[in-house]
Amino acid sequence: MKHKVVIAEHVDGNIEIEREVLGADVEIVLCKAKPAEAFMEAIKDCDALMTTNAKPMNRSELAGMPKCRVVARYGIGYDSIDVEAATDLGIMVTNNPSYCVDEVAEHALALILSAWRRVTQHAIAVKAGEWAPLGGGKIRRLKGRTLGILGFGAIGQGLAKRASGLGMDIVFHDPFVDESVLARSVSMDELLEVADVLSLHMPLIDSTRGIVDKTFLGKMKQDAILVNCSRGPLIKTDDLLEALNTGEIGMAALDTTDPEPIPKDHPLLACQNALVTPHSAWFSEESTIDLRRIAALNVAAALRGEVPTNLVNKDVKLSYVSQ
C-alpha cells in the first residue's frame, strides 16, 4: 500500500522536489488549510503531514491522524505545532534548522543598514517628489557603534560575522552560549544598556513570548534601533507602539509582526520610525530548494521506519522505527 503524504499550504504549489525525494510510490496530496472540515478529511488517513506556519496543529487535529508518523515543518520554528501533544500521540515532529541561516542574517543586516542610514525613508521621499538628503532624521556613522544580538544561535552568529566587517562592536546575550570568538557575552541588562542596534534571534517559546515589553524597551537607549527577524510575538506590539510614538526608542525594523500578516490599517504602519517587511527574510531561490528538500528527507526517513535527522521531540516513543 502506498504511503500518503499531505502537504498543507505548500510554499509554491510545485511538488517536483518533494516527488523526487519521496519517490513515485508515495501519494502526495496538496491541501489548503481551509475550510477546517476539508482539511481534517484530507489528513485523517495520512502517514505524514508537511506543513507551514499557516496551519497550526493542535492536539485535536493531531489526534485526527491515527496513522501519522511525522509532522514535518517547512521552516526552523515549530511553535505552530503542539509538540507535547504530538509526543503523547507518538508522532514525530521535524523542522529545518539550517535552511535559511544565511538569508535571515543577510536580511537582518539589510534592515540594520536601511534603518540606520534612513534608506527606505529617503527612497520613499524621492518618489514623492522630495529631494532632502539631510532630512529623515539624524544619521551617525555606524562604525564604532554597538550591535547587540539577543539569541546567539546560527543566525545570530551569522549576523555577527557580517556586522564585524562594518567595524561595529558586537555583544550578545544567550543563556545557552557562554562565550564566542565572534562577540562578547554580556548580561541582559548590559545588552539593553549598550546596544545602539538590538537584533532579536530567539525561538518563540513560553519564556520568550512577549519578552520585549514596556520594561524591556525602557532599558534600551533612547535612540536605539530594534530589529526582529525571528517571531512577531517576541514583542508586545502595543508596548512597542508606545515606545516608538513617545520616542523611548529610536526605530523598529521588523520582518515579523504580531499580528501577522499585519492589517493595512494597523497603527504600526503609520509610524514614521517603523520599517516593516513581509516575513521575507527566509526567502531566496536557494533557500526554498533547501527548505523543501530537507522537509521531504525528514518525511522519507520516517516512512522508512528511521528516525529523521531533524527530530524535534526526541523523547517520542515510536513502535515502527527500525531498531
Is residue 32 scored above 90 in pLDDT?
no
pLDDT tens-place string over residues 163-185: 999 999 999 999 999 999 999 99
Q: What is the pLDDT of residue 319?
A: 66
Which residue has 485535536 as its cell numbers? 60
Catalytic residue among 107, 118, 173, 279: 279
* Stretch 274-296: mean pLDDT: 95
User: CB-based contacts of 258: which residues, under 8 Å, 6+ apart?
Assistant: 232, 233, 235, 237
- pTM to 2 decimal places: 0.89
Cα–Cα distance, 272 to 128 (Å, whole number) = 15
Confidence class of residue 136 from pLDDT cuts 50, 70 and 90? Answer: low
Distances (CA, A) of 124 to 129, 240, 275, 306, 309: 9, 23, 12, 53, 45
Active site residue 3: no
Catalytic residue among 69, 118, 122, 231: 231
Q: What is the pLDDT of residue 55?
A: 75
* Stretch 21-45: mean pLDDT: 89
The DSSP secondary structure of 96-119, one letter per residue, reads -TTTTHHHHHHHHHHHHHHHHHTH
Catalytic residue among 106, 260, 266, 306: 260
Cα–Cα distance, 187 to 165 (Å, whole number) = 24
Averaged pLDDT score across all residues of the chain: 94
Active site residue 107: no
Is residue 320 scored above 70 in pLDDT?
no
> Across the chain, how many H-helices and E-strands are there?
11, 12
Q: What is the pLDDT of residue 107?
A: 98
* Stretch 210-234: mean pLDDT: 98
Active site residue 201: no
Q: What is the pLDDT of residue 323?
A: 43
Q: Which domains does the chain have, with CATH numbers?
A: 3-99+285-303 (3.40.50.720), 101-276 (3.40.50.720)
Distances (CA, A) of 269 to 248, 273, 305: 18, 9, 48
